[in-house]
Structure 1
C-alpha cells in the first residue's frame, strides 16, 4: 500500500509493519495495531478526547442548573449540542485542508475562551445570551475524535488492521461514556460545577497535544484537498450516513426503554446499573469483534449486526416478567452496539473520497448524534407501552438490516482502498 507522505509516494514504516501483521487475530490483533508508539499515543488521545465529551455534557448541565434551574440547563446543553453537531463537518474539512496542528491550536484556544465566557455569563445574563454562547462553544469544539479516527484509517490497511482499529475506537467510546459521566457527576457534586470545568478543559488540551505531537498527524492528514462539496458529494458515502442512523437510533431508544422499564417496575435505582450493564456488554462485544470479526467486509457485517440487535431487543420483553433477569439481558442487548459502530466506521472509511477523511468522520459523528436524538423521540410516545416500543424498534432494526443488505453490493463496487 502506498500513499503521499512528505511529498514522496511510499508506504510509511508503521504501515509496512501493519501489512506484515495483517494475519493476526485475537489479542495479537490488538498488539499488532498498538505496536508502534504513535498508535498507542493515538489510542490514549482517543480515550481522553471521548472522556472530555462525556464529562462536559454532565458538567455543563449541572453548572447551569446550579446557578439557574434545570430547564435552563437543558436548553444550554441542547444549544451546545446543536452548535457542535452543525459545525462538525466544517471543522473536519478544515483539518483535511490545513492540517492538524494549526486547526487544533486555533479551535482549542477559542473553545477555552468560549467556555470561560459561558461560565461568566450564566448567572447575570438572559437565557438567549447563554444559549448563544453555548452554541459558539460547541461550534469551536476541537475535532480531536474525528481527527483520530481519520488517522486510524490513514495508518491501517483495509481488512484486519483497520477492522481492529475501528473496533478499538468504538470500544474506547463506550469506556468513556461509562467512566466520564460518573466521574463528572461526582466531581461536580463534591466540589462545584465551575471547578469541575477545569479538569474537563485539561483533558481536552491533553488530547489535542497528544494528537499534535503525533508524527502521523503532522504528515498524513494535511492533504490540502479542495473537495468541492466534500464526502457528501459521494452517493456511497451518503448511503453510509443514512445506514449509520439505524444503530445509533436503536441504541438510544433501548437506553430509554431500560430506564422506563426500571422506573415503571418500581426499581428506579437500577436504571443506571442497567445502562452500565448494557455498556459492559458493548465493551466485550466490541473487543471480541475487533479480535475475530475481520473475516467479512463491513458492508456484509452491518445487516448481520442489525439483525442480532433486533433479536436482542426482543429480550427486553423477557426481562419485564422477571426484573432480575436484566442482569443478563442488558449486557446481551448491548453486545452489538460497539460492533455496529465499528462496522459503520469501517464502511465510512471504505466509501470516503481521497483526502477527506476527517471531514467524513465528522459527518459520521453528526449522523450518529442525529440518530441518538431520533431514538429518544421514537420511543417517547410509547413510554407506558413497552411492548409496542419493542415491536417498533425490532421493525426499525430489521428494516435497517434489509436496507444494508440490499445496498451492500453497490457499496462494495464503489468502495475503494484507502
Structure 2
C-alpha cells in the first residue's frame, strides 16, 4: 500500500516579489505535498497580509522594523492565526522547525544572513538570491556542506545546469558550462546608442517579468556576470571553463558540454515556475503550471551570438572579479547595487553603471576573504566609494 508523501513546509523569503509570487503559485497547486509555512517581505505590509489571507502561513515576517506593528495588527484584524515577526527573527525562523525548505528570494546583500542560516541548518535551499553566492560563495557552499543542506539554484540558467549535471559522476566528465543570456532590451545596440536610455527602457525586459534591479542587471549583462560567479561556486568550475552565449529566444536556458563531445541542454518556456517546481519536487517532477515547449509555435529556430563586451562591459568586469577572487566579487556586487540604484533614481546615466563599478574595483584591490566580517567590510567600503563617486559620473 502506498503512503502519501510528507508535506514539505516552505519558507518563502521575498514573498511579495516576482519570484516569491511564482513560488507561491507552484505551492498552491500541490496542497497535498507543499505548504507555505513562513512568508517574509521587506516593507510591503498590505501585500504580505493579502498573501497571508490566501496561503495561511504559520509565520509572517516584515523586514522593516517600523512596519512590524502594522503587520501584527493587520493579521489580527484579518482574523488570521499567522504569527507576526520582525525581521530580526527571520534567521532563527528559517533555521528552526518552522520550515524544512527555504526559497531564498530576498534581493541584494540583505538576503545573505537568512540564506546562510538556512544552509547551516541543513535545509533544502532554493537559491534565487544570487548575491549570497557572489558575496560569499565559498562561505555559503562550506556552510551547506557542513550543515548537510541541499542547494537547488532557481535562476533558470543554473537550474538548467543542475538538471543536466545532477551528480558528481557526471561532473567528473565536464568540459565546460555555457550560460545563455537573452541579451536584454538593448541587444544589438552599440555603446554610443546606450548613453541616453531611460530607466523605463532598461526595466522593459523582452522575455522575463522581474524586479527593477534585476531587470537593469539584465540590460547591462551584469546579471549574466553574477551568474558566471554563481556557477563557479555552485558547480565547482573555474571561470575559464564557463562561457556565455546570447540566445534571444530564451528557450535554451543553459548547456553543459562533456569531454566525450556530448552537449546537454535544458529547454523550456521563460517562466520561473519551472525552476521552482524542480526545486520543490526534486528528484520528482511536479506540475508547475507552465505548458510544454512547442518549438514550431516559437518560430522554429534557435539563434546564438557572442556577447558584445564593448557595449556591455559589466560581463567582462564580472569575469575579472572572479579571476581576482577574494573580496573582488563582493566589491563588484556592492558597487553595482549602488550604481543601479543611482541610475533608477536618474542620478547617473546607463553607461555610468559599468564606469562606477570599474572605478570602485580599481580603488579596492582584491584581498583574502576568509570570514563574513571581511566580506562585509569590503561591501561597506565599496558602497561608500561608489556613493561618493556618483557625482563624478552624473
TM-score range, shorter chain: under 0.3
TM-score (norm 2): 0.28
The structure that is strand-richer by fraction is 2
